[in-house]
Amino acid sequence: MTQPLRSRRNFLQTSTALAGATALAGNLLADDNKRPLMAYVGTFSSPLTDVLPTQVDLPPGNGLGIHILEVNRETGELKQVGVERMGTSPSCVALSADGTRLYSSNETDRVGDSKQGSVSAFAVDHRDGSLKLLNTVGSGGAGPTYVSVHPNGRHLLVANYFGGSVAVLPILPDGQLGAAVDVKVDAGKIGPTRAPHAPPGSFAFSGHDRTHAHMIQADPAGRFVLHVDLGLDKLFVWQFNSQTGALTPAAQDSVSLPPGDGPRHFHFHPNGRWFYSIQEEGSTIALFDYDATSGRLTHRKTVSSLPPGYAGSNFCSEILVSSDGRFVYGGNRLHDSIGIFAVGDQGELTFVGYEWTRGNYPRSFNFDPTGNFLYCCNQRADNVAVFRVDRQTGKLQFTEHYVPIGNPSSIVFRDLAAS
């Protein structure tokens, strides 16, 4: 049976409604794209008696807590829009995969009578990026210096620098943190105070007085968790129980770096097969092959983080691999530079050059979500400096943009347009 033809009036009404819906969707999309990109900067801060009346064992810091900034997507410029005031040095911050929760390691030796640091959980407002404290719990050791979220989203991993321990904390359904379900305390022979691979004339000495867990993070699949201890000059590998959060030693439970070199941070290549470790006192970057089925690390090659010919003291800091896997960036404190390395076909590194950080003691740096800008936290210069990334050469160009922040330590990004 032939369907009756719609009247011209009905056709026009339907067409007008569809056009209006399309225009509305377009406007909503345009508005969504205008929503801000936010940045969160963790800092070293001083005890704030009006916020935290309990006693905190902490040297004075210039930061105010977690600083909240809006990012100009075109220029990379930062504008401070708020601060979550904390007197406990939230030096490392990490976001959940969906950006709805932020976690901070509060780098204290003691809060009140408890001889451990703490970790805080925050809800991130999807409209303006502001933070709301959910809860604060013990970190399982003194001086928590690093936090990362396990890929399963149900556990937070903590490295306690002064406690020489690592801990696993459950993330509850509402984003709050539970008490640690596992704590591992590092033990072994402390390395020498002089690093064999340090530059000529170096007096770099920081952590070879005792055990110092400096970083902890899961591999990309979440099957294994790795952490470094600077004082022991070791990388530890743990098999991870995703249900209970328990850590058990992997078949190869540790890998030793040269005594005294002091492994600090590491980063996986996007292919998951190459692993780069940066040594704080040795000023080196080590390349390992990584077996994701067993967690085994096999050392292949080590290069200096510094330009050829450098002499004197230097302390390495951050290491990052670009999202396309073409370049590795290594931070140098005292030399105050970011070393730039091209990644070869087999993961080997070739020195490209370096960029002055425009500030003293670059503690860490991070890319924005596009990878087009790099933000460097110059701890002792009390600023974050902004660089544009040349995606073809890997080189960095200073944008002339700074933002003043006291003792910045880490920076992460939350794109509200993705909410």
Say what the pLDDT of residue 35 is.
Answer: 86
In this prediction, residues 137-150 reach a mean pLDDT of 96
pLDDT above 90: residue 348: yes
What the block records as the tokens of 111 is 């809060």
Tell me the C-alpha distance between 328 and 285, whole Å: 10
409 and 44 Cβ atoms separated by less than 8 Å? yes
pLDDT above 90: residue 136: yes
What the block records as the tokens of 35 is 């929503």
Predicted confidence band at 56 (pLDDT cuts at 50, 70, 90)? low
Report the DSSP beta bridge partners of residue 398: 387
Which sign does the torsion angle of CA 298, 301, 307, 309 carry?
positive
377 and 407 Cβ atoms separated by less than 8 Å? no
Predicted confidence band at 49 (pLDDT cuts at 50, 70, 90)? low
DSSP 141: S
354 and 339 Cβ atoms separated by less than 8 Å? yes
DSSP 197: T
pLDDT above 90: residue 195: yes
Tell me the C-alpha distance between 39 and 69, whole Å: 5
Contacts 24+ apart (CB under 8 A), 387-394: 387/76, 387/355, 388/76, 389/322, 391/322, 391/324, 391/326, 393/352, 394/322, 394/326, 394/327, 394/340, 394/341, 394/342, 394/352
Residue with tokens 């002055």: 356
What the block records as the tokens of 259 is 């005594």
Does the pTM surpass 0.85? The reply is yes
322 and 342 Cβ atoms separated by less than 8 Å? no
DSSP 152: T
Degrees, nearest 5: CA angle 245-248-254: 125
pLDDT above 90: residue 53: no
Tell me the C-alpha distance between 234 and 96, whole Å: 28
Q: Which residue has the higher pLDDT, 79 or 109?
A: 79
Domains in the chain, ordered, with CATH? 29-185+406-419 (2.130.10.10), 186-356 (2.130.10.10)
pLDDT above 90: residue 419: no
Predicted confidence band at 131 (pLDDT cuts at 50, 70, 90)? very high
In this predicted model, what pLDDT tens digit does every residue of 357-405 receive, in sequence order? 999 999 999 999 999 999 999 999 999 999 999 999 999 999 999 999 9
In this prediction, residues 252-274 reach a mean pLDDT of 98
Q: Which of 28-32, 129-133, 138-142, 267-271 has the lowest mean pLDDT?
A: 28-32
155 and 170 Cβ atoms separated by less than 8 Å? yes
In this predicted model, what pLDDT tens digit does every residue of 1-48 receive, in sequence order? 444 434 434 433 444 444 444 444 444 444 555 789 999 999 999 876
Contacts 24+ apart (CB under 8 A), 240-243: 240/150, 242/150, 242/152, 242/154, 242/155
Say what the pLDDT of residue 302 is.
Answer: 98
Averaged confidence pLDDT in the chain = 91
Say what the pLDDT of residue 115 is.
Answer: 84
DSSP 190: P
DSSP line for 268-317: E-TTSSEEEEEETTTTEEEEEEEETTTTEEEEEEEEESS-TT--S--EEE
Report the DSSP beta bridge partners of residue 101: 123
Say what the pLDDT of residue 10 is.
Answer: 44
**3-class secondary-structure state, position 416:** helix
In this prediction, residues 58-73 reach a mean pLDDT of 90
In this prediction, residues 171-193 reach a mean pLDDT of 97
Say what the pLDDT of residue 59 is.
Answer: 62
In this prediction, residues 229-234 reach a mean pLDDT of 98
Closest CA to 414 of 42, 1, 69, 177: 69
Say what the pLDDT of residue 206 is.
Answer: 86
What the block records as the tokens of 303 is 């290069």
